[in-house]
Amino acid sequence: MPDQIDRLRGTTRTAGGRRERNMDDKRRRIFAAAANLFAEHGFDGVSTQEIADRADVAAGTVFRYASSKNELLLMVYNQDMNAAIDDGDRASAGVLDAVEALVALVRPILMISLQNPFTMVAYQRELLFGAAAEVYRAEGLELVARLERAIAARLVESTPACGIEEDVLAQEARWAARTIFAALSLILAAPSTGAQPTADPSDELRGQVAQIVRGFLATVQQ
Protein backbone atom coordinates (compact mmCIF):
# COMPACT_ATOMS: atom_id res chain seq x y z
CA MET A 1 0.00 0.00 0.00
CA PRO A 2 2.74 2.61 0.79
CA ASP A 3 4.31 1.93 -2.61
CA GLN A 4 0.95 2.46 -4.28
CA ILE A 5 0.46 5.72 -2.38
CA ASP A 6 3.94 6.87 -3.32
CA ARG A 7 3.29 6.08 -6.96
CA LEU A 8 0.01 7.95 -6.83
CA ARG A 9 1.69 10.92 -5.19
CA GLY A 10 4.42 10.86 -7.78
CA THR A 11 1.87 10.78 -10.57
CA THR A 12 0.02 13.69 -9.00
CA ARG A 13 3.17 15.76 -8.72
CA THR A 14 4.18 14.95 -12.28
CA ALA A 15 0.74 15.82 -13.63
CA GLY A 16 0.66 19.00 -11.58
CA GLY A 17 4.12 19.92 -12.82
CA ARG A 18 3.05 19.32 -16.41
CA ARG A 19 -0.01 21.51 -15.93
CA GLU A 20 2.08 24.30 -14.42
CA ARG A 21 4.64 24.06 -17.23
CA ASN A 22 1.85 24.12 -19.79
CA MET A 23 0.31 27.18 -18.16
CA ASP A 24 3.69 28.93 -18.02
CA ASP A 25 4.29 28.12 -21.68
CA LYS A 26 0.91 29.56 -22.69
CA ARG A 27 1.50 32.65 -20.57
CA ARG A 28 4.86 33.24 -22.23
CA ARG A 29 3.40 32.72 -25.70
CA ILE A 30 0.51 35.11 -25.05
CA PHE A 31 2.82 37.73 -23.59
CA ALA A 32 5.28 37.40 -26.50
CA ALA A 33 2.47 37.55 -29.05
CA ALA A 34 1.00 40.69 -27.49
CA ALA A 35 4.41 42.37 -27.23
CA ASN A 36 5.32 41.62 -30.85
CA LEU A 37 1.93 42.62 -32.27
CA PHE A 38 1.83 45.88 -30.30
CA ALA A 39 5.32 46.65 -31.61
CA GLU A 40 4.35 45.81 -35.19
CA HIS A 41 0.89 47.38 -35.41
CA GLY A 42 0.35 49.52 -32.32
CA PHE A 43 -2.18 48.94 -29.57
CA ASP A 44 -5.20 50.10 -31.57
CA GLY A 45 -4.21 48.02 -34.59
CA VAL A 46 -4.31 44.69 -32.77
CA SER A 47 -7.27 42.55 -31.68
CA THR A 48 -7.40 39.98 -28.92
CA GLN A 49 -8.16 37.33 -31.54
CA GLU A 50 -4.96 38.21 -33.40
CA ILE A 51 -3.00 37.85 -30.16
CA ALA A 52 -4.61 34.44 -29.58
CA ASP A 53 -3.82 33.35 -33.15
CA ARG A 54 -0.18 34.46 -32.88
CA ALA A 55 0.15 32.65 -29.53
CA ASP A 56 -1.59 29.56 -30.98
CA VAL A 57 -4.22 29.43 -28.25
CA ALA A 58 -7.99 29.81 -28.21
CA ALA A 59 -9.28 33.35 -27.74
CA GLY A 60 -10.90 32.31 -24.47
CA THR A 61 -7.55 31.11 -23.19
CA VAL A 62 -6.14 34.62 -23.45
CA PHE A 63 -8.70 35.80 -20.90
CA ARG A 64 -7.51 33.21 -18.40
CA TYR A 65 -4.23 35.14 -18.20
CA ALA A 66 -5.40 38.72 -18.82
CA SER A 67 -8.90 40.13 -18.45
CA SER A 68 -8.60 42.37 -21.52
CA LYS A 69 -6.29 43.68 -24.23
CA ASN A 70 -5.75 46.72 -22.00
CA GLU A 71 -4.41 44.47 -19.26
CA LEU A 72 -2.07 42.82 -21.75
CA LEU A 73 -0.79 46.28 -22.69
CA LEU A 74 -0.05 47.03 -19.04
CA MET A 75 1.75 43.71 -18.65
CA VAL A 76 3.92 44.31 -21.73
CA TYR A 77 4.73 47.96 -21.10
CA ASN A 78 5.34 47.47 -17.39
CA GLN A 79 8.14 45.11 -18.34
CA ASP A 80 9.47 47.61 -20.89
CA MET A 81 9.28 50.44 -18.37
CA ASN A 82 11.05 48.40 -15.71
CA ALA A 83 13.89 47.63 -18.14
CA ALA A 84 14.05 51.30 -19.22
CA ILE A 85 14.38 52.47 -15.61
CA ASP A 86 17.15 49.92 -15.05
CA ASP A 87 18.92 51.20 -18.19
CA GLY A 88 18.51 54.79 -17.05
CA ASP A 89 19.86 53.99 -13.60
CA ARG A 90 23.00 52.50 -15.12
CA ALA A 91 23.45 55.33 -17.65
CA SER A 92 23.09 58.05 -15.04
CA ALA A 93 25.18 56.47 -12.29
CA GLY A 94 28.19 58.61 -11.48
CA VAL A 95 27.19 61.50 -13.77
CA LEU A 96 27.90 64.62 -11.74
CA ASP A 97 25.99 67.21 -13.75
CA ALA A 98 22.36 67.14 -12.61
CA VAL A 99 20.84 67.87 -16.02
CA GLU A 100 22.97 65.26 -17.79
CA ALA A 101 22.27 62.69 -15.08
CA LEU A 102 18.50 63.20 -15.26
CA VAL A 103 18.36 63.22 -19.05
CA ALA A 104 20.32 59.95 -19.06
CA LEU A 105 17.94 58.54 -16.46
CA VAL A 106 14.69 59.23 -18.33
CA ARG A 107 15.89 59.01 -21.96
CA PRO A 108 15.28 55.22 -22.25
CA ILE A 109 11.57 55.83 -21.57
CA LEU A 110 11.46 58.44 -24.30
CA MET A 111 13.11 55.94 -26.67
CA ILE A 112 10.33 53.41 -26.01
CA SER A 113 7.77 56.07 -26.84
CA LEU A 114 9.49 57.11 -30.07
CA GLN A 115 9.32 53.52 -31.31
CA ASN A 116 5.51 53.43 -31.01
CA PRO A 117 4.16 56.73 -29.70
CA PHE A 118 0.44 55.96 -29.78
CA THR A 119 0.92 52.70 -27.89
CA MET A 120 2.75 54.64 -25.19
CA VAL A 121 -0.18 57.06 -25.10
CA ALA A 122 -2.54 54.10 -24.60
CA TYR A 123 -0.33 52.85 -21.77
CA GLN A 124 -0.38 56.27 -20.09
CA ARG A 125 -4.15 56.33 -20.42
CA GLU A 126 -4.43 52.98 -18.67
CA LEU A 127 -2.20 54.17 -15.83
CA LEU A 128 -4.30 57.31 -15.38
CA PHE A 129 -7.80 55.94 -15.86
CA GLY A 130 -7.62 52.15 -15.53
CA ALA A 131 -9.54 50.20 -12.92
CA ALA A 132 -8.35 51.03 -9.42
CA ALA A 133 -8.17 47.37 -8.43
CA GLU A 134 -6.22 46.31 -11.53
CA VAL A 135 -3.03 44.61 -10.35
CA TYR A 136 -0.98 45.55 -13.41
CA ARG A 137 -2.07 49.16 -13.13
CA ALA A 138 -0.86 49.16 -9.52
CA GLU A 139 2.40 47.64 -10.75
CA GLY A 140 2.73 50.40 -13.36
CA LEU A 141 2.06 53.13 -10.83
CA GLU A 142 4.76 51.67 -8.59
CA LEU A 143 7.14 51.92 -11.54
CA VAL A 144 6.25 55.62 -11.81
CA ALA A 145 6.98 56.01 -8.10
CA ARG A 146 10.27 54.15 -8.54
CA LEU A 147 11.27 56.49 -11.37
CA GLU A 148 10.40 59.55 -9.29
CA ARG A 149 12.48 58.21 -6.39
CA ALA A 150 15.41 57.68 -8.75
CA ILE A 151 15.08 61.24 -10.10
CA ALA A 152 14.94 62.66 -6.59
CA ALA A 153 18.01 60.66 -5.56
CA ARG A 154 19.99 61.98 -8.54
CA LEU A 155 18.97 65.54 -7.64
CA VAL A 156 20.14 65.13 -4.06
CA GLU A 157 23.41 63.50 -5.17
CA SER A 158 24.20 66.38 -7.53
CA THR A 159 23.31 69.18 -5.14
CA PRO A 160 26.32 71.16 -3.85
CA ALA A 161 26.63 71.49 -0.08
CA CYS A 162 24.26 74.30 0.79
CA GLY A 163 23.51 73.99 4.50
CA ILE A 164 19.85 73.08 3.95
CA GLU A 165 18.35 70.49 6.27
CA GLU A 166 18.34 66.99 4.81
CA ASP A 167 14.58 66.46 5.12
CA VAL A 168 13.88 69.80 3.44
CA LEU A 169 16.29 68.95 0.62
CA ALA A 170 14.65 65.54 0.19
CA GLN A 171 11.17 67.07 0.01
CA GLU A 172 12.27 69.67 -2.56
CA ALA A 173 13.87 66.86 -4.60
CA ARG A 174 10.65 64.83 -4.49
CA TRP A 175 8.62 67.79 -5.72
CA ALA A 176 11.12 68.47 -8.51
CA ALA A 177 11.06 64.77 -9.46
CA ARG A 178 7.26 64.84 -9.83
CA THR A 179 7.55 67.94 -12.01
CA ILE A 180 10.13 66.25 -14.22
CA PHE A 181 7.93 63.18 -14.57
CA ALA A 182 4.95 65.40 -15.42
CA ALA A 183 7.03 67.13 -18.12
CA LEU A 184 8.11 63.75 -19.50
CA SER A 185 4.49 62.55 -19.54
CA LEU A 186 3.38 65.57 -21.57
CA ILE A 187 6.17 64.96 -24.08
CA LEU A 188 5.11 61.30 -24.36
CA ALA A 189 1.47 62.34 -24.85
CA ALA A 190 2.27 64.93 -27.52
CA PRO A 191 1.45 62.64 -30.49
CA SER A 192 -2.17 62.38 -29.35
CA THR A 193 -2.60 65.99 -28.25
CA GLY A 194 -0.98 67.61 -31.29
CA ALA A 195 0.88 70.00 -28.98
CA GLN A 196 4.02 71.55 -30.49
CA PRO A 197 4.11 69.23 -33.53
CA THR A 198 7.45 70.56 -34.77
CA ALA A 199 9.27 70.27 -31.43
CA ASP A 200 12.02 67.67 -31.16
CA PRO A 201 11.16 65.40 -28.18
CA SER A 202 14.79 65.01 -27.11
CA ASP A 203 15.37 68.77 -27.19
CA GLU A 204 12.13 69.36 -25.29
CA LEU A 205 13.13 66.82 -22.66
CA ARG A 206 16.56 68.35 -22.12
CA GLY A 207 15.24 71.92 -22.06
CA GLN A 208 12.49 71.21 -19.55
CA VAL A 209 14.74 69.14 -17.31
CA ALA A 210 17.32 71.93 -17.33
CA GLN A 211 14.71 74.52 -16.39
CA ILE A 212 13.35 72.42 -13.53
CA VAL A 213 16.86 71.72 -12.24
CA ARG A 214 17.67 75.45 -12.27
CA GLY A 215 14.56 76.14 -10.24
CA PHE A 216 15.35 73.33 -7.81
CA LEU A 217 18.91 74.52 -7.27
CA ALA A 218 17.80 78.14 -6.85
CA THR A 219 15.35 77.02 -4.15
CA VAL A 220 17.72 74.86 -2.11
CA GLN A 221 20.65 77.27 -2.36
CA GLN A 222 18.78 80.31 -1.04
* Tens-place pLDDT, residues 115-159: 999 999 999 999 999 888 888 999 999 999 999 999 999 999 888
Tell me the pLDDT band of 170, cut-offs 50, 70 and 90: very high
The residues, ordered by sequence, that sit 6+ positions from 185 with a Cβ below 8 Å of its Cβ are: 124
Neighbours of 22 (CB within 10 A): 10
Model confidence, pTM: 0.85
Mean residue pLDDT across the chain: 89
Q: What is the pLDDT of residue 16?
A: 62
Tell me if 106 sits within 8 A of 85, measured CB to CB.
no
Average pLDDT score over residue span 28-57: 94
Q: What is the pLDDT of residue 134?
A: 85
**Residue 97, φ and ψ in degrees, nearest 5:** -70, 125
Give the residue with greater pLDDT, 58 vs 221. Answer: 58
Average pLDDT score over residue span 64-75: 91
Give the residue with greater pLDDT, 8 vs 170. Answer: 170
Which of 71, 209, 64 has the alpha carbon at shortest distance from 140? 71
Percent of the chain, pLDDT > 90?
70
Give the residue with greater pLDDT, 18 vs 107. Answer: 107
